[in-house]
Amino acid sequence: MTLSRRSLIRSTAAVAATALVTGGGVTTARAAAAASGSAIPADWMGALPDALSLTRMTIPGTHDSGCTDPANGTEWSHTQNWGIAQQLQRGVRFLDIRANGLQDHIDDTFGIYHGAYYQGITFDGVLEQCRDFLRQHPGETILMRLKKENGTNNDVGARFKDVLNGYLDTKGWRPWFHLADRVPSLGEARGKIVLIAQFDNALPILQWPGGDNDFLSNQWFSLQDIYQGLSWPSKKTAKVTQQFDNATRDQDSALMYINFTSYAGGGWPKVNADAIMPGVQSYLGGRLSDRTHLGVVPMDFPDFHAETLTTLIDWNWH
């Protein structure tokens, strides 16, 4: 009998859990998981081979990852219910971090923003939660888009990169980052934050594609982030599936595909996600046997669309 990908992963998780209970320990559990994959969200990367490039994976993420409370703005600026730590525990491995200067600490501290709205968390807090997670789960990696969020009251302007350097060196965060101008293998990135820069800089690191609200690309990434201008939010589903199709046709590419399911036009993020995500899950559910990698898939409110989060993790095994 041939097991489906989902059945195989679930059976592997059961074997792993049994090993833990009966004294086989983590080593036995990981050995079982390595045979076919792991459904344990906090450790799902651990069973994958070190040589695997991050470009050859399917990686669930979140959009505006630090925006968890509508009191920090409005429901428009509310994109997540899970905080950073819970996102990571649940299997999210791409964080979309929007930062700028923090009032009274503009020279050395980033606040996290959605547009003009401070989200009640600093970049220090984000990094602390990432570090704590990676200490407990050293087989994992975190991809982080760090964007200079414009429109804030405390804009550091061209000094953004200088404040970041203060985090890396003065505050001592450099050892926790993988900083390079190529997409690493999983083995190279384990236990690290892979930084992707979206701010003015000449650093030898991965750079986010320029432009806005379109299909975009550069030497590292192929990006779909159409977040407004469509006649109905559900039409965003077609853009998402188009990018999945693009990735499927380009499996040997050196590019990492990034495919945002989030949409800001026509309604609050939760309303839009509820319109968009069923079609995304339908597309994925109909292709569970495909031997493909789909890239990074950032979402709003994965707690309401947990099946899609699980499906994306499962996609890394065939």
Q: Which pLDDT value is given to residue 49? A: 97
Classify domain 48-314 at the CATH topology level.
TIM Barrel (3.20.20)
Write down the pLDDT at residue 122: 98
- Chain segment 273-317, per-residue pLDDT in tens: 999 999 999 999 999 889 899 999 999 999 999 999 999 999 998
pLDDT of residue 31: 43
Tokens of 277: 């995500």
User: Residue 181: how many CB atoms within 10 A of its CB?
Assistant: 11
For the chain of 318 residues, list the mean pLDDT of each consecutive stretch of 10: 39 37 37 51 96 98 98 95 98 98 96 97 98 98 98 96 98 98 98 98 95 94 96 93 98 97 92 96 93 96 97 90
What pLDDT, on a 0 to 100 scale, did the predictor assign at position 265?
87
The answer to whether 82 touches 68, Cβ cutoff 8 Å, is: yes
pLDDT at res. 196: 98
Task: Give domain limits for the chain.
Answer: 1-39, 48-314
Side-chain half-sphere exposure of 83, counting CA atoms within 13 A: 12
Determine which helix (DSSP H) or strand (DSSP E) holds 246, and give its type and residue range.
helix 235-249
Q: Please tell me the predicted confidence (pLDDT) of residue 39.
A: 59
Residue 103: phi and psi, rounded to 5, are -50, 135
CB count in 10 Å sphere of residue 261:
25
Q: Which two tokens stand for residue 294?
A: 């789909």
Contact status, residue 191 vs residue 134, Cβ threshold 8 Å: yes
The predicted pLDDT at position 318 comes to 64
**By CB neighbour count within 10 A (0-12 exposed, 13-18 middle, 19+ buried), where does 172 fall?**
exposed
47's enclosing H/E stretch is: none
- 3-state DSSP call for residue 303? helix
